[in-house]
Chains A and B, each alone.
Chain A
Amino acid sequence: MNNRFPTNSVGLVKPRIIHFEEPLELACGRILPHFDLVVETYGELNRAASNAVLICHALSGHHHAAGFHTPEDKKPGWWDEYIGPGKPIDTNRFYVVALNNIGGCHGSTGPRAINPATGKAWGRDFPPLRARDWVHSQSRLAAKLGISQWAAVVGGSLGGMNAMRWALEYPDRVRHCVAIASAMKLSAQNIAFNEIARRAIKSDPDFHNGDYLSHGTLPRNGLALARMIGHVTYLSDELMGTRFGRELRSGTFERGLDAPIEFQVESYLRHQGDSFSEIFDANTYLLMTKLLDYFDLAREYGDDPVAAFSHAQCKFLVVSFTTDWRFSPQRSREIVDALIAANKDVVYANIESDMGHDAFLLPNARYEGVFRAYMDNVAREAEQLVRNA
């Protein structure tokens, strides 16, 4: 059955739910009495457990990073471009762990899960989260999978923040940190876009102040609008120009005809928003955008990124994309400058791309080359550790 898939695909994959019985104390002071993580793994953990790679997802991401869930699936996991046999994150060499983080809505404990205190879905009462809560829950996962040190913790966008937080929270448990299209903190403009998205959700009459599940409704319009706003910021002006231009999907500007005019870009955005609103949870969206807004790598280190990174023990790969205006190359360069000042090993590439922020998910020969060259060294190190074991 697997031969229906490309040879460089991990093929059919199956998510599994891992239950954690021990309570998790959160950064906000509240306690999650127990939690589930939905996880996918690709490849084999070697006998020294030195080849594990953690994939950290972005705002709307989840555990399905590569491969297909059914032979009929048209679309593979969200980072299939870069995870698979012979791909930069080579599943022939690495044991890849992808998960849906707590607070998510794809099977891990989040606002849609049952609150043991009430017997009802958490909904808006789900505790606010910070990236470090994700790191701590992921460290429990590592322990359960028999991984005492990650060969690499890898993530794009919010996932890159998650990866950098790992490097600071558990310095001796990460050998490499890969932060792609990321930042040490959001800019005011970024927070502004997130707030517009949140306002869109909250003003939907079906939102019911976050209690939509018990009202048997979903704030579809609000969530779709939030996604449309987000989506525009993930693309570049150039990309929208080449992909849609001013092409019409229906209607005409001809005199005398009054058929309603719809631009291609309008229809595309509406489709993006509508399909997202069917699969994503509004409370998760609010929670995750807040987590993103509050992230500030150096806050606990006297607002000094150099002091923050001086705690790290791993090596870093930092990648940005030229037309990414949501997490601009400048933000990556700040990470790099702090790492250099902290005397840490770092590689930085600013990839030419007209794909905007989304470039980190999409095919790009140079990005792939950089990523592959770096991960190749990571894999070789992991293999050396097996020989030394």
Chain B
Amino acid sequence: MLQPELDIVQKWITPGSRVLDLGCGDGMLLQSLGSSHQIEGYGLEIDPERITACIAKGVNVIETDINKGLAHFPDKSFETVLMTNSLQALMRPDRTIEEMLRIGRECVVTFPNFGNIRARTYLGVKGQMPVTKQLSYQWYDTPNIHFCTVKDFETLCLEKNISIIHRATVSSHAIDRQLMGIWPNLFAETAIYHLSK
């Protein structure tokens, strides 16, 4: 996770609160929130190497296949349920988001915006599925099976009556950062949403 993204997510977390991080990776975010916000954090992860990395950091990691559901977590048992950069790798992102909003009072979701001008150009001009530094997989070996755009995501929120408390966007390109305020779907590299229901 890049620093600008982290800065934004941190702003939306209440100090001392209970936080669940779906697809917590190597535990970097939870570790950082632990020291900056004294949160009581738990991370869900399925990749063995990342789980061991979390353990080494002293992060509470729970081996879980998010695609099999999160029924063992009671309603509203966390202040915030986070999911950074994992939405596109889920079997049913819509169901997981519903579950996140059931378990947490609020949710924070970040995902790569496939509506980004560079992705569009790659596909439009080259006629091939975009392979970028951020998304470096080929179409056949990618874990990212459900790409969406800023517009797609907000349509889903509307359909499911999900309130968007905040939306933020980040990009690694200076020029895109100038434009993404006006055209987020075209210039955001990563979209960050703060949600509730």
Q: A: which residues have CB within 8 A of B?
A: 333, 336-337, 340-341, 343, 345-350, 366, 369-370, 373-374, 376-377
Contact = CB atoms under 8 A, between A and B. Distances in A.
B contacts with A: majority SS: mixed
Interface residues of B, number: 18
B40 interface: yes
A333 B63 CA distance: 9
A349 B18 CA distance: 21
Given A337-B72, A341-B77, A370-B51, A347 B61 contact: yes
Given A333-B72, A337-B72, A343-B18, A370 B62 contact: no
Contact of B55 (A333, A336, A370): A370
Contacts of A341: 74, 77
A349 B62 CA distance: 7
A348 B58 CA distance: 12
Nearest to A317: B55
Contacts of B61: 347-348
Nearest to B55: A373
Contacts of B48: 349, 366, 369
Contact of A348 (B40, B52, B62, B77): B62
A374 B61 CA distance: 11
B52 A345 contact: no
B10 interface: no
A28 to B, nearest CB: 35
Interface string B26-70: 000000000000001010000010011011101011110000000
A369 B54 CA distance: 12
* A-B CB proximity, top 4 nearest: A373-B55, A348-B62, A373-B56, A350-B63
A376 B62 contact: no
B176 to A, nearest CB: 39
A374 B55 contact: yes
Given A337-B72, A341-B74, A347 B55 contact: yes
Contacts of A374: 55
A340 B62 contact: yes
B79 to A, nearest CB: 12
Q: Which of A337, A349, A366, A376 has the most CB of B within 10 A?
A: A349
A54 B39 CA distance: 31
Contacts of B56: 373, 376-377
Nearest to A380: B58
B76 to A, nearest CB: 12
Contacts of A347: 54-55, 60-62
A130 to B, nearest CB: 29
Contact of B51 (A333, A346, A349): A349
B170 to A, nearest CB: 31
Interface string B170-195: 00000000000000000000000000
Contacts of B18: 343
Contacts of B73: 337, 340
A377 B55 contact: yes
A158 B63 CA distance: 22
B52 A373 contact: yes
25 contacts: A336-B62, A337-B73, A340-B42, A340-B62, A340-B77, A341-B74, A345-B60, A346-B42, A346-B60, A347-B54, A347-B60, A347-B61, A347-B62, A348-B62, A348-B63, A349-B48, A349-B63, A369-B48, A370-B52, A370-B55, A373-B55, A374-B55, A376-B56, A377-B55, A377-B56
